[in-house]
Amino acid sequence: MSKFRVDLPVRDTYLPYGKQYLDDEDIQAVISVLKSDFLTTGPKIKEFEKKMAEYVGVKYAVAFSNGTAALHGACFAANIGQGDEVITTPLTFAASANCILYQGGKPVFADINEKTYNVDPNSIEKLVTSKTKAIIPVDYTGQPADLDAIMAIANKYNLIVIEDAAHALGSTFKDKKIGSISDMTMFSFHPVKHITTGEGGIITTNNAKYYEKLLLFRSHGITRDQNQLEQYEGPWYYEMKDLGFNYRMTDIQAALGSSQLLKIDKFVKRRREIANIYNKAFQDIKQLTIPYQSKQSESSWHLYVLKLNAEQLTGNRREIFETLQAENIGVNVHYIPVYLMPYYRNLGYKKGTCPLAEKLYEDIITIPLFPTMSDSDVNDVIKGVYKVIDFYKREAI
Q: Give the span between the Cα atoms of 13 and 373, in whole angstroms.
A: 13
> Which CB atom, from 89 or from 287, has the smaller least distance to ligand PLP?
89
| Nearest alpha carbon to residue 91 among 338, 299, 345, 342 | 338
**Out of 58, 61, 66, 290, the residue judged to bind ligand PLP by CB under 6 A:** 66
Q: How far is the CB of 317 from ligand PLP (least distance, A)?
A: 21
Burial 155-175 (b: 16+ CB within 10 A, else e): eeeebbbbbbbbbbbbbbbee
Taking CB under 6 A as the criterion, which residues in 207-236 touch ligand PLP? none
H or E element: which one contains 203?
strand 201-205
Site string for ligand PLP, 166-185 (x = CB under 6 A): xx------------------
Q: Give the span between the Cα atoms of 127 and 240, in whole angstroms.
A: 37
Distance in Å from the first CA to the final CA of the chain = 31
Rg (CA), the chain: 22
**Out of 170, 201, 244, 337, the residue judged to bind ligand PLP by CB under 6 A:** 201
Phi, psi of 132 (to 5 degrees): -70, 130
Taking CB under 6 A as the criterion, which residues in 73-92 touch ligand PLP? 92
Contact 345, 352 (CB under 8 A): no
| Nearest alpha carbon to residue 91 among 124, 33, 137, 56 | 137
* One-letter amino acid for residue 296 of the chain: Q
Listed ranges 64-72, 102-110, 152-160, 311-319: which one lies at the site for ligand PLP (CB under 6 A)? 64-72
Active-site position among 44, 193, 213, 387:
193
Site string for ligand PLP, 125-164 (x = CB under 6 A): -------------x-------------------------x
> Which CB atom, from 123 or from 141, has the smaller least distance to ligand PLP?
141
> Which CB atom, from 89 or from 180, has the smaller least distance to ligand PLP?
89
Burial 370-393 (b: 16+ CB within 10 A, else e): bbebeeebbebbbebbebbbebee
Q: How far is the CB of 187 from ligand PLP (least distance, A)?
A: 9
**Out of 67, 105, 142, 337, the residue judged to bind ligand PLP by CB under 6 A:** 67
DSSP 248: P
Q: How far is the CB of 73 from ligand PLP (least distance, A)?
A: 12
Under rule CB under 6 A, residue 93 binds ligand PLP: yes
Number of chain residues interacting with ligand PLP (CB under 6 A): 14
DSSP 339: G
Phi, psi of 377 (to 5 degrees): -60, -45
List Cα–Cα distances, 54 to 48, 206, 266, in angstroms.
10, 12, 17
Residues 6+ apart with CB under 8 A from 57: 176, 177, 179, 180
Site string for ligand PLP, 242-281 (x = CB under 6 A): ----------------------------------------
Q: How far is the CB of 145 from ligand PLP (least distance, A)?
A: 11
Q: How far is the CB of 352 from ligand PLP (least distance, A)?
A: 23
> Which CB atom, from 15 or from 186, has the smaller least distance to ligand PLP?
186
> Which CB atom, from 73 or from 121, has the smaller least distance to ligand PLP?
73
Q: Give the nearest residue (CB) to ligand PLP.
A: 67
Residue 193 catalytic? yes
Q: How far is the CB of 259 from ligand PLP (least distance, A)?
A: 18
| Residues at the interface with ligand PLP (CB under 6 A) | 66-68, 92-93, 95-96, 138, 164, 166-167, 188, 190, 201
Question: Which residues carry out catalysis?
Answer: 193
